Structure 1
Amino acid sequence: MRALAIIFLLSVLVVGLSLLTLQYLHISAENLIQEITIAQQQIEAGNWTLAQEQLENFAHSWNKIQQKWTIFLNHQEIDQIDLALARLLSFSKACDYNQSLAELAALKLLLSHIPEKENLNLPNIY
C-alpha cells in the first residue's frame, strides 16, 4: 500500500511539472513573439535604428529564455532559432527590408511552433 501511494505521488508530481513546463513554454514564446512583432512594425515603418534596438532587446531576452528552454527542448530547434536570429540581425544592420521580414516570419513560426509541438495531444503521441 505504501509503494502504491509513493507511485501515485510521483505520478502526480511528474504530471504537475509537465503542465508547468508547458505553461512556461507558451508564456515565454508569446512574450518573444510580441517583441519580434514590435521589431517587425519598426522595420515596416522604415525605422531601422529602433528596429535594431528592439532586435537587440529580443536577443537579450532570447538568451535568458534559451538557457531554460535547453532543459526541456530538442537542441536542434533552439539552433534553428539562433540561426534565424543571427540572419535577422545581419539583415537588419544592412537595412535589407525583404530579407529582414522573411527572417522575422521564420522566427515567429519557429517560436510559435515549439509550444504547439510540446502540447500533449493525440498527434504528438503517435
Structure 2
Amino acid sequence: MRTGKGGHKVKTAIVITVILLAFIFVLDLGSYYYLKDTAMSISQSIEALPEKIENEKWDTATDDLNKASNRWSSVKGIWAVLINHDEIDKIDMSLVRLRSFVQYNDTEEAMAEYNTLKMLVKHIPENQRFSLVNIF
C-alpha cells in the first residue's frame, strides 16, 4: 500500500503538532515549578513576620520585610513574563501597605496585610497550574 504526497503531509503535520504540544507542556510545567519554588522562597522570607509584629519587634520586622522585598524584586521580572500583571501589582501594593503598617507600628493592620500578602504569593502557582479549570 502506497501513501501519496497528501498522506506524507498529514503525517508531518501530526508530528509537528505533537512536538509543539510537548514543548508547550514542558514549558508550562517548568514555569509552574519556577513559580512554585520562588513563591515558597518569598513565603519563607516573610514567615517570621507575624511573631515579630505581635511582639512589636519593629526593627527586625523591617529587616525581614526588606529581605522579602529584595527577594521579590529578584523574581518579579521573570514572573511578569509568566503571569498576569495585575497579580504582580497586587503583590507590590501589599508589600507597600505592609511596610507602611510596620513603619507606623500598627500591629492589627500589619497582621492583616501579612495574611493578604501570604495568600497572594501562595495563590500564584496554584492559579498557574495546568488543569482543566484553569483552561476554561
Q: TM-score range by the shorter chain?
A: over 0.9
Unaligned runs of at least 5 residues, structure 2: 1-10
Provide the residue aligned with 1:53 in structure 2.
63
Can you list the C-alpha shifts for 1:21-74, whole angstroms capped at 9, x where unaligned?
A: 001111111111111112222212221111100000000100111111000111
CA–CA separation in structure 2 for the residues paired with 1:117 and 1:42: 30
Percent of residue pairs bearing the same amino acid type: 33
Provide the residue aligned with 2:134 in structure 1.
124
CA–CA separation in structure 1 for the residues paired with 2:103 and 2:23: 47
Written as runs of structure 1 = structure 2, the 5 A alignment for 1:85-96 is: 85-96=95-106
CA–CA separation in structure 2 for the residues paired with 1:63 and 1:13: 29
Provide the residue aligned with 1:7 in structure 2.
17
CA–CA separation in structure 1 for the residues paired with 2:78 and 2:19: 25
Indicate which of 20, 37, 49 corresponds to 2:30: 20
Indicate which of 36, 52, 55 corresponds to 2:46: 36
Can you list the C-alpha shifts for 1:73-116, whole angstroms capped at 9, x where unaligned?
A: 11011101111100111110111111110110000111111111
CA–CA separation in structure 2 for the residues paired with 1:25 and 1:110: 12
Provide the residue aligned with 1:70 in structure 2.
80
Amino acid at match of 1:56: N
Provide the residue aligned with 2:107 in structure 1.
97
Tell me the SS of whatever aligns to 1:114: helix
**Of the two, which has the highest radius of gyration?**
2
CA–CA separation in structure 1 for the residues paired with 2:42 and 2:50: 12
TM-score by length of 2: 0.86
Amino acid at match of 2:113: E
2:52–2:61 contact (8 Å) kept in structure 1: yes
2:94–2:116 contact (8 Å) kept in structure 1: yes
Count of residues in Structure 1 that have an aligned counterpart in Structure 2: 126
